[in-house]
Structure 1
């Protein structure tokens, strides 16, 4: 999933001749806190509602406003992971997209990013979640996939995160079935440590659900 596939065809860019009040009005309409400033196809930077409030001159053209962000953007061929990283690191509600010549193509909204990310991790697809805990040297995707498929299940999504201990990792696996017993039996037989499972409203431990809900809440801020 590339940046160019996520571009909004609704949210406009601003011009340097637009005023701070114009920008605030558009931000309220589209429920964002940032908008790009573009003259013709030249991307000049991003202005935030905080920039406008700090200057306290809402009728001044945007060309007279200092910008707290330089020129954050992604290129059209970059992956959604790059878009998420930039939006998360700078806490942006929109991410500008440029072509190879660095001409402005459009922007990606936080809402679109959240929806596409949910699709990416199969959040809307029914199924159970199994979270394993292991050392990275013991991590073998091919073996995990084989055990899951031998238990008549399929992996819909999988992500790896490092735990606080530093040398241990958490592997969260979204499966296409809610009856997890055959999969859990297979993991147990091969010595895998199952940290938690989650199936609908019936969970042994809701850690995975809380982590997912926290991520969704953060991305929608």
Structure 2
């Protein structure tokens, strides 16, 4: 899925001739703390609510402020995970989308990114989650898939992440069933280390919450 597919048209960008008070009002109306500034169709930079609140005179125009606006953005043809990366790196409530030459296209809201990420990782689908820990050299997708499929289950989503503190590879697997006991037994029989799992007696709501926390931990 491309960034262009997630653009919101309901939140207008700021203009250089907007006052500080108007910019803050637009942020409040949109329930965000960031908005792009656009001039002649070009992306100028990203306004931050905290920075604007420090301005003593809120009747000043944005173009009158001596601020070096940061310009985090993604190209409209990039995969949406790049927007997730930018939002996480800069702690943004909106991500600006541009074409070549900083031509402004629109924004993607944090809520839209989270919703799309949930679909992308199958977080809302019925099933359990298993988190494996292993040496990176021991990772074999084909073997893990075979073990799971021989237990009449299917992988809905798989993600890997290296724990920088240990160098170990963490493998998060979303599976299309809640009963994980036979799968866990098979994995352990093949000497896989199961670090965590969510299934069996966990309610679906609890599993969904746990999965979302796990995805945040893995920085998907």
Indicate whether the TM-score tops 0.5.
yes
- Aligned pair count reads 216
Quote the residue 1:105 is aligned against: 105
Structure 1 residue 100 displacement after superposition: 2.8
Quote the residue 1:12 is aligned against: 12
C-alpha distance in structure 2 between counterparts of 1:16 and 1:200, whole Å: 56
Q: Is the contact between residue 129 and residue 197 of structure 2 (CA under 8 Å) also seen in structure 1?
A: yes
Long gaps (5+) in structure 2: none
Q: Is the contact between residue 198 and residue 210 of structure 2 (CA under 8 Å) also seen in structure 1?
A: no
C-alpha distance in structure 1 between counterparts of 2:89 and 2:161, whole Å: 17
Write the deviation string for residues 141-192 of structure 1: whole angstroms up to 9, x where unpaired.
Answer: 1111111112111111112122254331211111111111221122122111
C-alpha spacing 1:90/1:53, structure 2 compared with 1 (3 Å): same
Q: Is the contact between residue 37 and residue 45 of structure 2 (CA under 8 Å) also seen in structure 1?
A: yes
Secondary structure (helix, strand or coil) at the match of 1:202 reads coil
C-alpha distance in structure 2 between counterparts of 1:127 and 1:148, whole Å: 13
Quote the residue 2:24 is aligned against: 24
Q: Is the contact between residue 44 and residue 69 of structure 2 (CA under 8 Å) also seen in structure 1?
A: no
Name the TM-score, length of structure 2 as normaliser: 0.89
C-alpha spacing 1:214/1:156, structure 2 compared with 1 (3 Å): closer
Secondary structure (helix, strand or coil) at the match of 2:38 reads strand
Structure 1 residue 101 displacement after superposition: 3.8
Deviates more, 1:179-188 or 1:133-142: 179-188
Long gaps (5+) in structure 1: none
Residue 141 of structure 1 pairs with residue 155 of structure 2: no
Name the TM-score, length of structure 1 as normaliser: 0.89
Q: Is the contact between residue 129 and residue 211 of structure 2 (CA under 8 Å) also seen in structure 1?
A: no
Deviates more, 1:65-74 or 1:50-59: 65-74
Give the root-mean-square deviation of aligned CA atoms: 2.5
